[in-house]
Structure formats: C-alpha cells, structure tokens
Structure 1
Amino acid sequence: MSQNLDQALADFCPGLPFAVALSGGADSTALLLACVQRWPGQVRAVHIHHGLQHAADDFAAHCRAMCEDLGVPLLVCHVQAGHAPGQSPEDAARQARYAALAESVQTEWPDVRDVAVAQHADDQVETLLIALSRGAGLPGLASMPAQWQRSGLNWHRPFLTVPGAALRDWLGERGQAWVEDPTNSNEQFTRNRIRARLLPVLAEAFPAFRDTFARSAAHAAQAQEVLDEVAAHDLAHVGIPPRITALQALSRARQALVLRHWLRTIHATTPSTAQLNELLDQVADCNTRGHRLHLKVGQGHVLRQGTVLSWSPR
C-alpha cells in the first residue's frame, strides 16, 4: 500500500459502523476494500443506480458480487436525476446521489452516522481548476472539504491526498477488478477534459502540484472559516431580517459578506456577483422611505419592507 494511502487511512477516524458510497469504479472500490481490511465487520455499502446509461445495471451487478465476496451488506438505490433549467446534469446527479445516500442510510441503518465517499487528490485539483475558471471566491477555491455534516450525517473524503493512479495501482497489486464508467472518457464534460488534457501537463511542469494545490485549497478554507465567523457576528448585529441602516453602517465589503451569509444560511440561495453588486448599490441608495427595492437575487427576490430587507422565493 502506498505511503499516501497508508497515511490517509490512519487519519480517517469514522464512527463505527459506517457506510461507503460504492459506484464500482476504481476509487470507491479501493475505498471499500481498504476500509473492510481495516475495520472488518463494521463497513456497509450503498450503490446509487442513476439509470443514466445502459451500463448502469452492470455496475450494480458488479457491486453486488464484490460485496457478497467481502461479506459487506449492500443497499442499491435507484434515483432519477433530472436537471432543472440552467442546472448541469452533473450537478443534478450529484445532488440526487447525496440525497439518496442520506435517505437510504438513515432509513435502513439507523445506527450509522458516518458515510465515506471516494473523491481523491485528482478530483480535488479538478474542483479547484473549475472554481478558478469560473472566477469563484474563497468558498469555491476551498474546493472539497475532507469532513462535513449534512442531512444529520457525518461525511468523509479520506482519499483527498491520494492520487487516483495510486488507488488503481493498489487495486492492481491485489488483483481486485473494478468497472470503468464509459462517460469518463467523454471530453464534453469539463472534468474529463481537465483530467485528459491539463493534469498530464501540470504533472510535467509542477510534479508536486497535487500537494501544493491542496495546500492552497486548505488556506482558502481556513480564511473562509474566519469570514464566516465575521459574517455571523455582523448578521447578529444587523438582525434577521437585516436592518437597512445597520447594513449601511458597515463597509461595502462587509455588507457583501453579511448579505451572502444571510441569503445562504437563512434562505439557502446564493447571489451571483452581478446580483450582489446591484443589491449593494440599492442598499446604498435607500436614503428615503419611498425608495423601493425589488431585485432578482439567487433563486428569488430581495425586497425592501419598511426598514428591513426581506427575501421571497417568488
């Protein structure tokens, strides 16, 4: 086992028993096998059947056979991941996958509170590069966290420091088969283009890029934690809903910070940069009782109601 993989497993401390999200691909196969070896009898698996391609039934059959060989309980969940207008199919599938994972684990295994997923160092680099290409702020540049909480569960990505090639080599040494998703070679998807075209060039120019990019993402995540604390403090001061005069007493940068925090944490929506700048301009112009404000922001609208701002989903 590679040194990176050894260290990754040593740093991974899930509550027992726990579940592994198993697609049947190399990454999740390595995660399941390594976890079963480390915590025998404590691991369960969940396979999400998207039904998005003809090979989906074969993926599920492979997972069933492997889990039977390993003596691991397996749930196979069928989901339909249709995407909304303006939403990418990849994002829709990801959201449906996490929702199905959480629901199935909580329904079938109420004693399970931890779920491990198999994204690795290359996935982290791809996430960071996509964020940079979109002009993302710190939340995007922080990329994927190694641990987080969602839907009442503790989620883990123990392989974020391990290159994908190391996982495949490890499986090959053990003669463990996996399935190849045919869409992984389709370069119409941004991640596949990055994997096929950019990562080899980065590896040649900057051999340690996975480690250095991971450090940059970690620095961004740490900075974002501080900004979240400032935003929470400011939101407590300006109130919920935010008082316009209290907002106006803050600098424009802190107004932006607290408004993003309010919209994200209270209303589960995120403004675009253009929407937020327009909202800040309108807040600055709210100097008379008669000034009206009704702006499209995120998935709804921000309105002025007397001395405060409100948000409506319509």
Structure 2
Amino acid sequence: MTQAFDAALRAFTPRLPLGVGFSGGADSTALLLACHARWPGQVVALHVNHGLQAAADGFEAHCRALCERLQIPLRTGHVDARPQPGQSPEDAARRARYASLGALALADGATPAIKDIAIAQHGDDQAETLLLALSRGAGAPGLAAMPAQWERAGIQWYRPLLGVAGQDVRRWLQDQGVPWIEDPTNTDERYTRNRIRRQLLPALDAVFPQFRDTFARSAAHAAQASLLLQEMAQGDLAASGDPPRIAALRALSPPRQANLLRHWLRQAHSVVPSAAQLAELQAQLADCATRGHRIRIRVGAGFVVREGEMLGWYNS
C-alpha cells in the first residue's frame, strides 16, 4: 500500500544537503524519515514555530526530541504569523512559514549550506488547493494549484509527494512505528480547507476514485496555460512600457489587456485585482480618450491612477 510513496521518493533527486520542512505532523515526519533513510547525514530538519497556539512550544519540543533521537540536525525559527487587516490567517501563516524556512536554510554561518528544501504536501493537499481555487473563481494561475518544484531567493523548493494520497503517506509512517503530533486546527471546520478535507474528499473518493490523478492533470494543464499567459504579458509589458502607456493598453484586445494589467500589478506592486476591480479599470481605460480623464481605482492596499499618458500606482 506504500508503493506510491516509495516510488515518489525514488524519483526525488535534490541537491545535498537537503532541508526538510518539519512541523512534527504525520506528513512532514514521513518525508523527513524517508529522506534521512535515503541520505543519512545529509538531511537537516527545518521547524517553524508560528506561536499561534498554546501547543506551539510543545510541537517544537516534540520535533527537537525526535531529531535528537534520530540524530538529525534541527534548525528552528520563531515567527509572528498573525494576519494583517484583510489577510486570511492561512495566508499569513503560509507566508511567514516559507519566509522562515528560507531564512533557516540560508542562515549566516549555518553549516551545511542548504540550497534545496522539500516540503510534505501530498495529493490530497493538491486536490484541496484546486477545489479552493474553483470555489473562488480563480483563473489559470490559481487553478495551477501547487507546483512540484520552483525557485525563490536562490533556493530550489520541492514537493515530492504531490502524486501520493494522504492515506498512503500515513500508512508508510505507521509502518515505521514513529510517533507524530496532530495539529488540532486540522479538524476545525471553520476553515474551508478542513471542510473540503473532511466532507468533499471522501465523497470524491467514493464517486471518482482516481480524482487525485485527474485533478493533478488539470492543474498541470492550467500551469502550462499560466506560463503562456505570463510570457505574453511580459512581451506586452516590454512593448507598452513599465509602467504601461495608456495608448498601448487601449490598443490591446480586452483579454490581452486584462492579462497585462494583472501581470503588471502583481509584478510591480504585489497586488492582485479582483474581477470587479479589473473590470472597472478596463472600463475606465476604454473611456480614457482625453487628457482630462482621471483614473483612480482601489486595488489591494493602494490605488491605480492616471499619471499623464501612463498608469501609476500609490499606496493609500
């Protein structure tokens, strides 16, 4: 029953030494143990203490004790993962976690230097991410769900278990006889992801047993489409100027114009417009035939404005 897990680890070929994100939960414990068994002495556990629960220090103590018993080096980081106004708790925790993992890997004076990090999201997590994206009406980037590999700040990140069902990960870990901790928030159905995990995935398993594979293929198609859209937006932005000239934007078809605007706002200002904000901005551009026409539309924490013959941006 653990063939998929074993096959996924055999196919995983990172640079060594390897950092493994380690929360102490079942999935990250399985990944850490499997990587340690395959590359003994070449794996470092990276633990992030979010400080959001009373049990957070207990999680860290568990991770420290297990790593000491198995003689796996452990690096720990403490973060403030409280959300900013308008930010979801899940997004705040995710951003803080990845920033801390990267900092732990590249910590000054840390030995050994780590250039590759593996994290333990699996096939069920991928399906949940795709369903969340569908529920929010996401476009191609959102429907691409989670990539199996990407680069950020000089680090290669990997999700080697994306093709493995969550139950297979736990079965492998149970065979090892190694304890793990259960995060109580994973059963809190106030979070949409938990409702999907506990209610929708079992129903999908009963009706479409191969849904993880088919969802993964759909996400891969969306990822490919997203890359093509990004390449087109980069070319259009280079042609229209950065920030873009209004005349150049008005010359594009509405879908291509929307693609360029999303790309510019995300790349230059780290904001993603809602569908309504983007539609309003495009309507304003369509009416922007005279020098006197003003544009001022809120997007995220700032505003898109007209600055002469170009679009501009300022924080509120």
How big is each residue's C-alpha offset from its partner over 1:101-144, in whole Å with a ceiling of 9 and x where there is no partner? 11122113472111111111000011011111111111111000
1:30-179 mapped onto 2 (5 Å cutoff): 30-107=30-107, 108-109=110-111, 111-179=113-181
Shift, 1:32, TM fit:
0.2
Q: How high is the sequence identity, in percent, across the aligned residues?
A: 61
Equivalent residue letter for 1:45:
A
Partner of 1:11: 11
Partner of 2:266: 264
Q: Distance in 2 between matches of 1:244 and 1:204?
A: 52
Partner of 1:273: 275
Q: Distance in 2 between matches of 1:59 and 1:119?
A: 19
Given the two structures, how large is their TM-score scaled by the length of structure 1? 0.97
Q: Distance in 2 between matches of 1:60 and 1:257?
A: 43
Shift, 1:87, TM fit:
1.2
Q: Distance in 1 between matches of 2:311 and 2:270?
A: 16
Q: Distance in 1 between matches of 2:292 and 2:112?
A: 54
Shift, 1:4, TM fit:
1.3
Structure 1, unaligned stretches of length 5 or more? none
Change (3 A) 1:197 1:269: same
SS of aligned partner of 1:124: helix
Q: Is the CA contact (8 Å cut-off) linking 2:52 and 2:82 kept in structure 1?
A: no
Shift, 1:267, TM fit:
1.6
Structure 1 residue ranges (4+ consecutive) displaced by more than 3 angstroms after TM superposition: none
Note the aligned Cα RMSD (angstroms). Answer: 1.2
Partner of 1:225: 227
Q: Distance in 2 between matches of 1:233 and 1:201?
A: 44
SS of aligned partner of 2:106: helix
Shift, 1:276, TM fit:
0.6
Partner of 1:216: 218
SS of aligned partner of 1:302: strand
Partner of 1:242: 244
Shift, 1:299, TM fit:
2.5
Given the two structures, how large is their TM-score scaled by the length of structure 2? 0.96
Structure 2, unaligned stretches of length 5 or more? none
Q: Distance in 2 between matches of 1:14 and 1:188?
A: 37
Q: Distance in 1 between matches of 2:268 and 2:77?
A: 31
SS of aligned partner of 1:291: coil
Number of residue pairs matched by the alignment: 314
Shift, 1:152, TM fit:
2.6
Q: Distance in 2 between matches of 1:257 and 1:53?
A: 40
Shift, 1:176, TM fit:
1.3
Q: Distance in 1 between matches of 2:203 and 2:37?
A: 35
Q: Is the CA contact (8 Å cut-off) linking 2:24 and 2:63 kept in structure 1?
A: yes
Q: Distance in 2 between matches of 1:109 and 1:312?
A: 42
Change (3 A) 1:109 1:218: farther
SS of aligned partner of 1:301: strand
SS of aligned partner of 1:135: coil
SS of aligned partner of 2:226: helix
Equivalent residue letter for 2:211:
F
